[in-house]
Amino acid sequence: MALDEPKDTDNVFEIDGFKYIVDKKFMKEAEPIKVDFSGFGFQFDCGIDFEEGCSACPTSSACG
């Protein structure tokens, strides 16, 4: 997750006051993508099967 401006290669979704920008190519690989927010931050879940304990998830993420 990063702050970014939308590009022609992105899908843009606005949900509950949050704007989500997702690269179209990545979206095809990762569908379905789910983003939840709790008091601990954002939690991501997607269709990519990460190895348990992956280091590609620096935030509170659902990996594995």
Residue 23 is predicted with a pLDDT of: 92
Q: Tell me: the pLDDT tens digits for 3-57? A: 889 999 999 999 888 888 999 999 999 999 888 888 888 888 888 887 665 555 5
Q: Could you give the 3-state DSSP secondary structure of residue 30?
A: helix
Residue 55 is predicted with a pLDDT of: 52
| Residues paired with residue 21 on neighbouring β-strands, in sequence order | 12
Residue 13 is predicted with a pLDDT of: 92
Q: Could you give the 3-state DSSP secondary structure of residue 60?
A: coil
Residue 35 is predicted with a pLDDT of: 85
Prediction pTM value: 0.61
Single out the residue of 31, 32, 42 nearest to residue 2, CA to CA. 42
Find out whether 44 and 30 touch, Cβ atoms under 8 Å: no
Q: What is the DSSP string of 1-13?
A: -------TTEEEE
Residue 45 is predicted with a pLDDT of: 87
Look up residue 37 and give its two tokens. 């927010």
